[in-house]
Amino acid sequence: MSGHSKWSTIKRKKAAVDAKRGKIFTTLIKEITITARAGGGDPDSNPRLRHAISSARDANMPQDNIKKAIMKGTGELPGTTYEECTYEGFGPGGVAIFMEVLTDNKNRTVADIRHLITKYGGNLGENGSVAWMFDKKGQIILTRDNQDKDTLFEAAIDAGAEDFEAVDNAFIVTTDPAEIMSVRSALENKGYYVESSKVEMLPKNLHKIDDEKSKKAISLLDEIEDHNDIKSVYTNFEPAG
């Protein structure tokens, strides 16, 4: 698919560093809390919570942390009230940037994001200014060990997947967002190890820029991703080289 750029590879390699910083746990706790508050604390009747819990387990989050996050969401334990929102903008060379945010202070967060984007010569846009450049899809990542590609492809399609491809050291299964957990469960039931699963915004087309602007774009995306209120960052950026 056109959505898998070199930036996607950079993000996957960077994930381990983010985990060491503890940011990934903080983000997952916010996600579980918000999801439990919105749809209840029972994962059997709250598909989004079930997926958030799966993501937390993929990241090796302790079960006690997951339980407490759910209880904070349902009000059984005191906790900070978070809300989710999205921001859109343009970075160096006109690359599109779509950001998902979990925050307890929207004014602080939008000011921080505007400052970062402006620092690198970009600008924060209105809602809808770049969202149309992306498709919302489920992405299931399987480690590329010794699985037979054709057999896995057939299993993924039989489970309801929309697309399948091999990228670097992983297999990526693309689904409708609403089907991500059913496809994941079907693959796991057939013995496949799922590294992670996530609903993502995939760029419809990639935007290539020169080397100088690429370096600035990577620096900007790194800083945005490192912000504590950022859940996810998506871009149509294709680095030079």
Give the domain CATH number at 50. 1.10.10.200
pLDDT confidence of residue 62: 92
**What tens digit of pLDDT does each residue of 206-232 get?**
998 888 998 999 999 989 988 999 999
Co-location of 59 and 113 in the same domain: no
Number of domains in the chain: 3
Co-location of 177 and 216 in the same domain: no
Co-location of 233 and 139 in the same domain: no
Residue 79 lies in a domain: no
pLDDT confidence of residue 76: 94
Per the DSSP assignment, residues forming a β-bridge with 78 are none
pLDDT confidence of residue 24: 85
Co-location of 120 and 230 in the same domain: yes
Q: Which residues contact 85 (CB under 8 A, 6 or more apart)?
A: 101, 103, 106
- How far apart CA 129 and CA 94 sit, in angstroms, is 12
Q: Supply the mean pLDDT for the chain.
A: 87
Residue 1 lies in a domain: no
Co-location of 175 and 153 in the same domain: yes
pLDDT confidence of residue 43: 92
pLDDT confidence of residue 8: 54
pLDDT confidence of residue 15: 53
Residue 145 lies in a domain: yes
Residue 16 lies in a domain: yes
Co-location of 146 and 191 in the same domain: yes
Residue 162 lies in a domain: yes
pLDDT band at 240 (very low <50, low <70, confident <90, very high): low
Co-location of 221 and 197 in the same domain: no
**H helices present in the chain, as ranges:** 6-21, 23-39, 47-58, 63-74, 106-119, 149-158, 180-189, 211-226
Residue 20 lies in a domain: yes
Q: Which of 60, 3, 2 has its CA nearest to residue 28?
A: 60
Mean pLDDT of 103-115: 96
Give the tokens for residue 157. Answer: 């399609």
pLDDT confidence of residue 105: 95
DSSP tally for the chain: helices H, then strands E: 8, 10
Global pTM? 0.85
Residue 80 lies in a domain: no
Q: Which residues contact 109 (CB under 8 A, 6 or more apart)?
A: 101, 103, 227, 229
Co-location of 229 and 127 in the same domain: yes
Residue 36 lies in a domain: yes
Which of 26, 44, 74 is a domain's end point?
Answer: 74
Co-location of 168 and 199 in the same domain: yes
Which of 74, 105, 124 is a domain's end point?
Answer: 74
pLDDT band at 5 (very low <50, low <70, confident <90, very high): very low
Range of the domain at 96: 85-132+205-238
Mean pLDDT of 181-188: 93
Highest-confidence segment of 23-27, 180-184, 190-194 = 180-184
The one-letter amino acid code at 48 reads: R
pLDDT confidence of residue 11: 54
Mean pLDDT of 197-210: 91
Lowest mean pLDDT, pick from 116-120, 168-172, 176-180: 168-172
- How far apart CA 25 and CA 31 sit, in angstroms, is 10
Does the pLDDT at position 154 exceed 60?
A: yes
Co-location of 148 and 209 in the same domain: no
Co-location of 12 and 64 in the same domain: yes
Co-location of 52 and 138 in the same domain: no
Measured in residues, the chain has a length of 241
CATH of the domain at 111: 3.30.70.980
